[in-house]
Structure 1
Amino acid sequence: MGIATLINEVREFGDFEFYPTLDSDIALIKKHIDLLGYDKPYSVLDIGVGDGRVLNAIAHEYGEKYAIEKSLPLIRALPADIMIVGTDFMAQTLIDIETSVIFCNPPFTQYSEFASKIIAESLAPDVYLILPTRWSNNQAIKDALARRKATFTILGNSDYRSADRPARCTADVIHISLSSCASRRWDRATVDVDPFAAWFSDNFDIDAQGSAARKADSLHQNVQPDKFEIIAGGDLISTLVSHYDASLEKLIITYKGLEHVDGSILDELNVSIDSIYAAIKLRIKSLKNKYWKELFNRFTPITDKLCTSTREEMQTLLMKNVNVDFTKENAYAIAEWAVKNVNKYIDSQLVSVYESLIGESNITLYKSNQRTFGRSEWLYNRKPSGLDRFALDYRIITSNYGNFGGYSFDRINGLSKSSANKIDDLITIAHNLGFDTLGQERASTVEEWEPGKLRTFHYFDHTAQKKVVLFTARAYQNGNIHRKINQGFIARLNVEFGRLRGWINTPEQAAEEIDGVDIDCAKQAFQSNLKINVGTQFLKLN
């Protein structure tokens, strides 16, 4: 989508002053970041990320990219590798979002509020701002800089009157350093003044010296689990946010009660300001963690479409950002991010699962592929070099390290976890290809696994209105698993794998190349792998 089109769409949705950053300013910031000397991938948070152009340009090739954005059209225009960690910037805090760099080109009518809040709350040692040149006379920004003991450098000045979206002002490109550490080698620089400490002193007036104070750990109590009563058909996110707000308010009120306790009593109890401060910081972080985890555990409309490894990868990414404020807007924005990424995973995991099934006796070459491979090229579970344009047979034998060994906690229903996961992953792939496996057998629900005994897995055929065998499996003591797969499923799997690998480009080509695939089957199979649309019922999470 072009910049002009995106600007118009943002205006129609509700204008949040999306002024695209000049290319010259982006280059200036990137050059300065490179001069800082980071020796490893650094992370960047872009506040008001827009369409992601600036973030992608200044981020490290392998660094994590985070964003705060209020406009829904802009959120939906972002690439899938940009993690949304907030929506309404002025309604949340930065004091526990850990990144190396923060960038913001704020709405010029609110530049003072944005700049002073970023400076006051940033945990990143390096902040880049684009502000109207009059910023240097703004008292709120001066106060924030002084409080954080920050230094600044004006990197350049730009005229935004001729930008993609004109603004009637010139602007400074500013670098603000919140760390006196001169080196960024190995990302070791930390801020000189903890922003949480400033927040604590603003909000709590507790008289405690604690000359022999107990360690903060003694005040660290685990947050007790809440009972999340979700009414059927209700809004899960609204309910969880309501619980969170009430829990946070109760937490703050509890600790503010210490303001009414005589300081001498707190001192006698060996309670210091430092221990109270550390305890509050931990409790707030734990509270956010708990509620985000509760939400992520209910992402099943999304995560049910993922295989074991990709589901774990997505959940790991989600849980890395549990310090984000738990608000309704943030929850929906992160759910949108999850939908974008699940589509990327759905295609890549089909290829991964398919390739795990490849073996000498398991494949047939495309009709146009006349190559042959010697038996030695398949030794030790290797795949021949240059192997391409092939399909899987419906009878498949794979080898694993073991199906029945190990400790009991490492088995699922008598079968090793790795083997059980492979069974369930194949069921997930089938479901994403249009075979309704909801409520049908999984590795954990069939009769307990025994060596050589047949286990059967079904899908529900809505045309015939009956259960149909999807595949059968026999697991053996030597680590082999023998599968016999429904020929309609294997045909559809072969077509989609060939399409994703770029070997076939049309249904007609699939029918010509792959044994057992006619033109009707090819048309039904081509591009049948599931895609979830942003804005669908998956985001409701009811």
Structure 2
Amino acid sequence: MKQSTLSLVQDLKDSGNDFEWYPTTDKQINTIIDDIKIIKKDFDFTTRYSEAVKVLDVGAGDGRVLEAITAAFKAEEYFNIDAYAIEKVDLHTNTYRKKGITLLGTEFNQVNFISKNCDIGFVNPPYSEFSHWIQTLISHLRFGILYAVIPERWKDDPAIKEAMALRGVKFSKVLSTSDFLDADRTARAKVNIVRFSFNELIADEDHDHTHRRYKHNVSYNSTDPFDLFLENELNLKKTYSETNEKFNEYCEKERVRKEMATEGTPCFELVTSKGVLWALLDNYERDLANTLEQYKLISTINPSLLQELGVDFDALLKGAKEKMLGYRNVYWHLLFEKLDAISTRLTQKHKNDLLNTLSANALDFTYTNALYIIQYAVEVGNELIEQSLIDVYINLTSPDAISRYYKSNKHIYSDDWRYTNTGNEKAKYVLDYRFIHSNHSNFSGYSWDRGLNEGARAFTSDLVVAFKLLGYTNLYTTCSYDQISYGGKISIIGTTPSGEVEELVDIKYYKNGNRHLKFNQEAMLRLNVTVSRLLGWVRSKDEFVEESQCTETVNDNVWAISDDMKVTPSNILMLTCKAA
């Protein structure tokens, strides 16, 4: 392990990324794990039953602390660990997905810790900056308990004392004194392993914890750093504030889209000169600055006047929080929309799954984080692209849709319920080019909701995605979804790889939920061949012809479709570099 660490340190030095990384020792990690085990006997770490305990390592390095804590409680019932990290060195962060670690931020000084929360925090900071790091985390991070490996002189640090007093962190317990003389990377520093908390976390000696029905949460006396920020930075005092205008992500996204498309606006100029990403970053900073300025102006109004107008403090606080945190979601959504090299290759379900994953990470919208997210989206998106095509194929599958089974097939497809689209997973088959697909419904029961319902629209959109993956371009539908009525038809048109414009599928939608489909036979051949190859049913085009008893010609271009579906980072360089 020591040799591995020294090799990693050398790599960090060679790449100019050795930012005082002295890995936490096994002894130090075990001290923290033992303390958590003692506390959990008498206190809860989360507010909801069986909810995962969120552990955040700030400056996580190679993630060894998070891995150790996760492993220590792996067998514990109702104590699952979700591991999160702040780390700027990509040599480390590139390993996180395999280790089950979610990145919440990169550069420490660019992280908005007010928007971050965890049940257990940990930090082993660069010792030249430990005061700034600890002061920032105590002041801004929403935590239950915070563990820190810091120089012994922390006890006399005025900035840390002030931050504890302002935040209401009343307890700081030194769990042990340690050093790095026998560490994987040696150093002379003498350090304390400290636990910061809002409560003393001492068990009730008069009450047997094994029979206790209710436990206090480790953070039951904690303060909200966001509330303190609004009070201290914006001078907002309790007794006033109510706003009826809720933050509306849809409206905000529409506003930014319009600015980016309107000639003469600063946003449009940035899009044309530097690229989409820079335009979004600039707009985000201006929106945050404008919001802060507006709330500062509110704080200058006489409180009695605000009270007379019926303005409520709690509502104003909620409004400020919704806006400042809501803008982050708005701009991540807008960035994802521009990742069309990925998003146009995913079905609606996988598109939503990826977007929810990106949003759930709660990353601040910064340039460094955007680069990480783009790389992350390419990696995850490529994993979902093949599955998107397979999902469309399975969704189309029904007894009516199957033209023929594979020659050597040992399983028979069965479907006992007309709305079930999942068949025998072991069956190998070829879809027909013309069949009926049954579903619950195609139209809404509300008079005001015109055209196809959400499910029918997603079904059609997913077919468009499938055709794109099969090599067709310039795809469009012959009419909009809201124009379709009972028995109405919609067609998907596209350009073939050879440059011909063809009708790829006709779909008729009926009131009873049936969908009558008629595919272009070449398009269906492409779908059958590609999915058969992705699922591992065949290893060559000759084998496909033999097994499926196919009468159509399978040329090399059709067989090679699955090789060209994935996205490379170069497809989305235009987001970060206009010249590209």
- Fold agreement, TM-score > 0.5: yes
CA distance in 1, matches of 2:546, 2:140: 62
User: Which residue identity does 1:199 align to in structure 2?
Assistant: F
8 Å contact from structure 2 (residues 84, 101) kept in 1: yes
**CA shift in 2, pair 1:166/1:70, >3 Å:** same
Give the secondary-structure state (helix, strand or coil) at the position aligned to 2:268: coil
Partner of 2:263: none
Partner of 1:74: 92
Partner of 1:176: 196
CA distance in 2, matches of 1:251, 1:54: 38
Q: Which moved more, 1:328-337 or 1:197-206?
A: 197-206
Instruction: Tell whether 2:164 aligns with 1:145.
Output: yes
Q: State which of 459, 473, 496 in structure 1 corresponds to 2:494.
A: 459
CA distance in 2, matches of 1:26, 1:510: 55
Partner of 1:128: 147
User: Which residue identity does 1:286 align to in structure 2?
Assistant: K
- Aligned pairs for 1:79-94 (under 5 A) are 79=97, 82-94=101-113
Partner of 1:14: 16
Partner of 2:457: 420
**CA shift in 2, pair 1:220/1:379, >3 Å:** closer
User: Which residue identity does 1:195 align to in structure 2?
Assistant: P
- Aligned pairs for 1:144-223 (under 5 A) are 144-147=163-166, 148-155=168-175, 159-169=179-189, 171-179=191-199, 189-190=219-220, 192-200=222-230, 202-203=232-233, 213-214=239-240, 216-218=241-243
Q: Which moved more, 1:148-157 or 1:358-367?
A: 148-157
Instruction: Tell whether 2:395 aligns with 1:356.
Output: yes
**Structure 1 residue 79: deviation in Å?**
1.0
**CA shift in 2, pair 1:196/1:403, >3 Å:** closer
**CA shift in 2, pair 1:348/1:58, >3 Å:** farther
**Structure 1 residue 426: deviation in Å?**
1.8
**CA shift in 2, pair 1:391/1:13, >3 Å:** farther
Instruction: Tell whether 2:508 aligns with 1:474.
Output: yes
Q: Deviations over 1:194-229 (max 9, x none)?
A: 3234434543567x7x8xx44x32597769966633
The sequence identity of aligned pairs, in percent, is: 26
CA distance in 2, matches of 1:308, 1:186: 42
**Structure 1 residue 235: deviation in Å?**
2.6
8 Å contact from structure 1 (residues 131, 172) kept in 2: yes
**Structure 1 residue 97: deviation in Å?**
1.9
Instruction: Tell whether 2:353 aligns with 1:307.
Output: no
**CA shift in 2, pair 1:392/1:101, >3 Å:** farther
CA distance in 2, matches of 1:483, 1:45: 51
**CA shift in 2, pair 1:298/1:443, >3 Å:** farther
Q: Which moved more, 1:57-66 or 1:384-393?
A: 57-66
CA distance in 2, matches of 1:387, 1:487: 25
Partner of 2:484: 449
Task: State TM-score, norm by structure 2.
Answer: 0.75
Q: Deviations over 1:312-358 (max 9, x none)?
A: 33333444466x54433333333443333323332333333222122
CA distance in 2, matches of 1:163, 1:448: 69
8 Å contact from structure 1 (residues 161, 170) kept in 2: no
Q: Deviations over 1:122-178 (max 9, x none)?
A: 211122323345544544334433443242344556553454444443544443223
8 Å contact from structure 1 (residues 433, 530) kept in 2: no
**Structure 1 residue 467: deviation in Å?**
1.4
- Aligned pairs for 1:94-493 (under 5 A) are 94-147=113-166, 148-155=168-175, 159-169=179-189, 171-179=191-199, 189-190=219-220, 192-200=222-230, 202-203=232-233, 213-214=239-240, 216-218=241-243, 228=259, 229-231=267-269, 232-233=271-272, 234-256=274-296, 265-267=302-304, 269-270=306-307, 279=316, 282-283=319-320, 285-290=322-327, 292-300=329-337, 301=340, 302-320=342-360, 325-363=364-402, 364-372=404-412, 381=420, 383=422, 387-411=426-450, 414-436=451-473, 438=474, 440-442=475-477, 445=480, 448-452=483-487, 454-462=489-497, 464-493=498-527
CA distance in 1, matches of 2:287, 2:150: 38
Give the secondary-structure state (helix, strand or coil) at the position aligned to 2:112: coil
**CA shift in 2, pair 1:58/1:252, >3 Å:** same
User: Which residue identity does 1:340 align to in structure 2?
Assistant: E
User: Which residue identity does 1:230 align to in structure 2?
Assistant: F
Q: Deviations over 1:402-431 (max 9, x none)?
A: 2245225545xx223212211110211231
